[in-house]
Amino acid sequence: MSHPDRFLLAGVMGSPVMHSRSPMLHNYWFEQYGLAGSYVPLAIEPDGLPNALRALHALNFSGCNLTIPHKQEAMAIVDDVDETARRIGAISCVIVGHTGKLFGSNNDCYGFIENVLEFAPTFRADAGPIAVIGAGGGARAVVWALAQRGAKEIRLVNRTLARAQRIEGEFGAPVVAVPWEERAEALADVVMVANATSQGMVGMAPLDLPLDSLPKHALVTDIIYTPLETPLLKAARMRGNPTLNGLGMLLHQGRPAWKAWFGIEPTVTPELRAKIEATIKA
Q: In what order do the strands lie in the sheet with 102-105?
A: 37-43, 8-14, 63-66, 93-96, 102-105, 80-81
Question: In this predicted model, what pLDDT tens digit does every residue of 124-159 receive, in sequence order?
Answer: 999 999 999 999 888 999 999 999 999 999 999 999
- The fraction of the chain above a pLDDT of 70, given in percent, is 98
38-80 pLDDT per residue, tens: 999 999 999 999 999 999 999 999 999 998 889 889 999 999 9
Domains and CATH numbers, the chain: 8-106+250-277 (3.40.50.10860), 109-245 (3.40.50.720)
Catalytic residue IDs:
71
HSE toward the beta carbon, residue 270, CA cutoff 13 A: 1
The pLDDT of residue 1? 47
First to last CA, the chain: 37
